[in-house]
Amino acid sequence: MPNAFVDLVPEGGLKLTPRHYSYLKISEGCNHRCSFCIIPSLRGDLVSRRVDAVLREAEKLVHAGTKELLIISQDTSAYGVDTRHETRQWKGRDVRAHMTDLARELGQLRTPDGATPWVRLHYVYPYPHVDQVIPLMAEGLLTPYLDIPFQHAAPNVLKAMKRPANEAKVLDRIRKWRDICPDIAIRSSFVVGFPGETEADFDYLLQWLDEAQLDRVGAFRFEPVEGAAANDLPGAVPEEVKEERYQRIMEKTAAISAAKLAAKVGRVLPVIIDEVGEADEDGSVGATARSQADAPEIDGNVFLRDVGEGLQPGSILNVLIEDADEHDLYGVPHIQG
């Protein structure tokens, strides 16, 4: 049966994001059983898409105007575990369903005007093989950005969460990642007030954050979600203590973020334009953009002044960073010469 309406569907499918960035989901479900999370009961165990299907979708999106691909799943670094990393042909090459292979191939894509699209990895579980993608960032194939939820640092809290409890090694690995790719932006999220979290555990987390110097941090107050194993754990943390710890972690991470952003003042960085403003009475136009360290919706912005005519959402250009605050940067287009 021919279907006339297929012609009405844009090449990359119908999107709910702006044209210049797209989410690309590579798998569904999760094999982990973190005690605070009910997603496996909602979405089941890991089911990975075929790597050629993922790459074909990515290519279509990039042809249709996407400049930035956001790789998502429930567990991006587990990609292909369920299919034993099944190999498929792509552009005459054998490609495994594996995060590293996928990342390398995504880095070969080119926009219609020949540019390398930005490619971000989200929801990366801290497996050892995550180390393999950092060199790809240093080579420019992947955007130097890693969204890797650590959830906590204190070993007994991580154990109660049923998470890998090798936080000291994680600090070593972060150091090595920064040696390989100094500009890597690391985003993570943490739960405070998890059952059994003592004041000492929380202090340990704050000290760990001082060491780790993460670029972007999201924090959540523990919530007992119906059906989660963590609800039955002893040592529930009172609401007011959770709130106090939440305020303290936010304060700590805001200070780290402010210092990291302040260090970017004076540098020239590539940004992608999200929105171009209206001209003000002097005729100057501003724009809202993001650097490679900023994923859409969840991270900060780079606010630009005097961007001139003809700039479109999705344009990528170099800007001189002039100012910074806790979460955002401020800059102006950088004219070479």
Q: How is 194-258 classified by DSSP, letter by letter?
A: -TT--HHHHHHHHHHHHHH--SEEEEEE----TT-GGGG-S-PPPHHHHHHHHHHHHHHHHHHHH
64 part of the interface to other proteins, by CB under 8 A: no
Give the residue with the Cβ less far from other proteins, 99 or 307: 99
CB of 196 to other proteins, least distance (A): 19
Enumerate residues 283-312 that contact other proteins by CB under 8 A: 297
The secondary structure of residue 335, as a DSSP letter, is P
Residue 41 interacts with other proteins (CB under 8 A): yes or no: yes
Selected range binding other proteins among 41-49, 173-181, 205-213, 254-262, rule: CB under 8 A: 41-49
Choices 7-15, 91-99, 229-237, 314-322; region in contact with other proteins by CB under 8 A? 7-15
In angstroms, the CA 157 to CA 185 distance is 25
Looking at residue 139, the DSSP 8-state letter turns out to be T
Distance, CA of 333 to CA of 155 (rounded, Å): 46
- Of these, 3, 84, 238, 309, which contacts other proteins (CB under 8 A)? 3
- Tell me the longest C-alpha to C-alpha distance in the chain: 66
Q: Does 19 bind other proteins (CB under 8 A)?
A: no
Output the smallest distance, CB 284 to other proteins, in A: 32
**Is residue 232 part of the contact set for other proteins (CB under 8 A)?**
no
Residue number with CB closer to other proteins (150 or 222): 222
Burial class (CB in 10 A: 0-12, 13-18, 19+), 295: buried
Interface segment toward other proteins; rule CB under 8 A; list 5-13, 106-114, 131-139, 273-281? 5-13
Taking CB under 8 A as the binding criterion, the range among 67-75, 201-209, 237-245, 279-287 that sits at the site for other proteins is 67-75
Which range binds other proteins by CB under 8 A, 6-14, 91-99, 170-178, 318-326?
6-14
- The interface region with other proteins, picked from 15-23, 243-251, 273-281, 312-320 by CB under 8 A, is 15-23
Instruction: For the chain, list the strands marked E by DSSP.
Output: 21-25, 27-28, 47-48, 68-72, 87-90, 93-96, 118-121, 145-147, 185-192, 216-221, 268-276, 287-291, 302-304, 316-324, 329-333
Selected binder of other proteins within 34, 48, 62, 73 (CB under 8 A):
73
Is residue 236 at the binding interface for other proteins, with CB under 8 A as the rule? Answer: no
Closer CB to other proteins, 250 or 311, in the complex: 250
* Strand ranges for 238-311 from DSSP E: 268-276, 287-291, 302-304
Round to whole Å and give the CA distance between 133 and 37: 26
Q: Among 19, 25, 50, 60, which residue sits at the site for other proteins (rule: CB under 8 A)?
A: 25
Least distance in Å: CB of 221 to other proteins? 10
Minimum distance of other proteins from residue 142's CB (angstroms)? 18
Helix axes 51-63, 99-106, angle to 10 degrees: 30
Which residues ranging from 181 to 220 are in contact with other proteins (CB under 8 A)? 220
Cα–Cα nearest to 250, from 212, 220, 213, 207: 220
The residues of the shown chain that bind other proteins, judged by CB under 8 A, are 1-9, 13-17, 23-25, 28-29, 37-39, 41-44, 70, 72-74, 122, 220, 223-226, 297
